[in-house]
Amino acid sequence: MTTIAVVLASTRPGRNGEAVARWVLDRARTRTDAEFGLVDLAEVDLPQVDEPVPPMAGRYTHGHTRRWAETVAGYDGYVFVTPEYNHAVPGALKNALDRVYREWNNKAAAFVSYGHSGGVRAVEQLRQVMGSLQVADVSAQVELTFAADFANRGEFAPAERQAAALATTLDQLVAWSKALAPLRAGVAG
């Protein structure tokens, strides 16, 4: 069975992302074409990159990096739930992406972003990073704005159209995750 991680990128106390990630996960788990799990970066012990060898070498010296590598390797695809901070991705997400390399390769990614402008600039950056990590990012995405998808700018209340956007995004993500399976098997074999 194809496995997909819903990666909650914000680690900020009082974050809006937790409600967004739960919404994604609840909707995703109604599907029968993949298994979905939550990876909350606030619960992952990842200090700033502290490995002496670049991740491409795959020689991880710290236990926290090896545990992270196992987590990343355990999934076929990822839905990154991310806010936009100062026109960029959260530092915790960038650190998590930079920590390992091969474990990301030949997998697929999708994005659910939120912010004043829907988090689109964070996703633009993530698409560039995905290319460097050999991750195929799907074109569909969910863009949530504080004005339209959060009551009083804090309580998550997605507009009705967002459910269809998420369904399309997940359709593409699962399809690409499955399509890349032979590449992952070839690398592993």
pLDDT in tens, 65-118: 999 999 999 999 999 999 999 999 999 999 999 999 999 999 999 999 999 999
Name the pLDDT band for 152 (thresholds 50, 70, 90): confident
DSSP state of 43: G
Q: Dihedral of CA 101/51/71/111: which sign?
A: negative
The gap from C-alpha 137 to its chain's centroid, in whole angstroms, comes to: 10
Residues 156, 115: Cα–Cα separation, whole Å: 12
pLDDT at position 54: 95
Average pLDDT, the chain: 96
**Residue 123, both tokens:** 């996703």
Length of the chain in residues, anyone?
A: 189
Bridge partner list, 114: 83, 144
Walk me through the domains of the chain, giving residue ranges and CATH numbers. Answer: 3-188 (3.40.50.360)
Mean pLDDT, rounded, for 22-28? 98
The gap from C-alpha 144 to its chain's centroid, in whole angstroms, comes to: 15
The gap from C-alpha 171 to its chain's centroid, in whole angstroms, comes to: 15
pTM reported for the whole predicted model: 0.96
State the number of CA atoms in the 13 A half-sphere of 65 facing the CB. 22
